[in-house]
Structure 1
Amino acid sequence: MTEKIPQSIRERTRRLAQTELTTVAQDLFLERGYEKTTVDEIAAAAGMSKRTFFRYFSSKDDLVIGKYDLFGDRLAEALDARPADEPVWESLRRVFDITVDYVEDDYTRARNDAMELIVRGSAQLNARYLEKMQRVQELLVGRVASRLPSVGASPIDPRPAAIVGAAFACMQAARLAWLESDQQQPFAECLDKAMETFIVV
């Protein structure tokens, strides 16, 4: 028990530092442009050395894409915290509440949209983004599988991946519908409506 506490503190400290670096870097990217911003400038703005920067991110690209690792971890932790006897689809809907604030808050959404443009404007970053989003879904697939009582009868069961994939498709469809409607309806309601389309476990 005495060994787990320091590890937990270190992990929380690491995440805080990564989050702070990401925020500082986003400010610089939006002000100066991604290509023109250097690691030296990011480290200086964050009040750390370049060497310390590389303890948290191996490159500038990793700093941009790394937020999706943090996002995946948050989703996984949120799913772990849901009641074990709760229907899987309802658990996923509640987990997606994490995204509601990001979408509905004008300032946060503007930053995220700007960063998405940077990612999609680079073939390298976009390829890594797709890899990260695949990892996010994979983090949830195993957790969903453990909640399905009949999984395990076959070594290959496509249902957990299908459920997670469908949930993410609902989230994306809800976001697009919400944006196209000029935000006349709360995003959470759009998400509810999209996920109510499917009757799953």
Structure 2
Amino acid sequence: MSEAMPVPIRERTRRLVQTELTSVAQDLFVAHGYENTTVDQIAAAAGMSKRTFFRYFPSKDDLVIGKYDLFADRMAEALDDRPMDEPVWDSLRRVFDITLDYVQDDRQRARNDAMDEIVQSSPQLKARYLEKMQRVQELLIGRVATRIAGRDADPSDPTAAAIVGAAFACMQAARHAWFASDQSEPFGSYLDKAMATFQLR
């Protein structure tokens, strides 16, 4: 395993609460629509005060976008948990296992689709979403660079960025292909096929 520093208890607790708030909010957004759901309703459904809600998210928009920060952290931690001597491409494939439920589980997919629709309908949210997705890749790029070249990795070397970018392209290709299929095979099989296209280090 890698020697990544453990996440402090306070930060783990904060992420758990943020994850719970996001989950509660997604259910409300699906049931009532984004515009018709208030911070008061989200806080009440989560069993907390509005004041406490704002300790975790500055606004309702931040709650929507915040899920991508949580997703980025999960992916980075998943890569940290992979053995350092494992081929990088294999490690990234295992990291993408995080996405399986978002695609295959009907309830998760309904919630995820509803959130995506909210983001795509707002130019402001869409711009922030693109920034967050870039952060997801940047978190992985730095880790991949360290795995390839060690702690003295050259930040101007495009190798790590190319590998991570190719991996994400494979994930998107697998997702589109799976939705276009009869879905008799699990999404993981499509991920395997897409990523097997490239023989990377």
TM-score with structure 2 length normalisation? Answer: 0.92
Determine the C-alpha separation between the residues in 1 that align with 2:25 and 2:153. 48
Show the counterpart of 2:188.
188
Aligned to 1:94: 94
C-alpha separation between the residues in 2 aligned to 1:11 and 1:155? 28
Say if 1:109 and 1:92 are closer, same or farther in 2 by CA, change over 3 A: same
Letter in 1 for 2:119: V
Distance in 2 separating the partners of 1:154 and 1:164: 16
Figure out how many residues of one structure are paired with residues of the other and give that number: 197
Which letter maps to 1:120?
Answer: Q
Pick which of 155-164 and 170-179 moved more: 155-164
1:98 Cα deviation after fit: 1.1
CA distance in 1, matches of 2:150, 2:102: 35
CA displacement, residues 129-167 of structure 1 (integer Å, 9 cap, x when unaligned): 111000000000000000113895755101111111110
Q: Which amino acid aligns with 1:133?
A: M
Aligned equivalent of 1:162 = 162
Percent identity over the alignment? 75
Is the CA contact (8 Å cut-off) linking 2:146 and 2:153 kept in structure 1? Answer: no
Q: Is the 8 A contact 1:178 1:184 kept in 2?
A: no
Map of 1:1-201 to 2, 5 A cutoff? 8-149=8-149, 152=152, 154-201=154-201
Runs of 4+ in 1 over 6 A off after TM superposition: none
Distance 2:76 2:14 in 1: 18
Structure 2: stretches of 5+ with no match in the other structure: none
Task: Say whether the 8 Å CA contact 1:151–1:157 is kept in structure 2.
Answer: no
**CA deviation profile, 1:94-119 (whole Å, cap 9, x unmatched):** 11111112211111111111211111
* Higher RCO (C-alpha 8 Å, min separation 6): 2
**Distance apart, 1:9 and its partner CA:** 2.1
- Structure 1 residues 152 and 10, CA, compared in 2 at 3 Å: closer, same or farther? closer
Give the Cα separation in 2 of the matches to 1:200 and 1:47. 48
How far apart in 2 are the matches of 1:92 and 1:136? 13
Structure-1-length-normalised TM-score: 0.92
In the alignment, residue 45 of structure 2 is paired with which amino acid? A
Secondary structure (helix, strand or coil) at the match of 2:8 reads helix
**CA distance change for structure 1 residues 92 and 51 in 2, over 3 Å: closer, same or farther?**
same
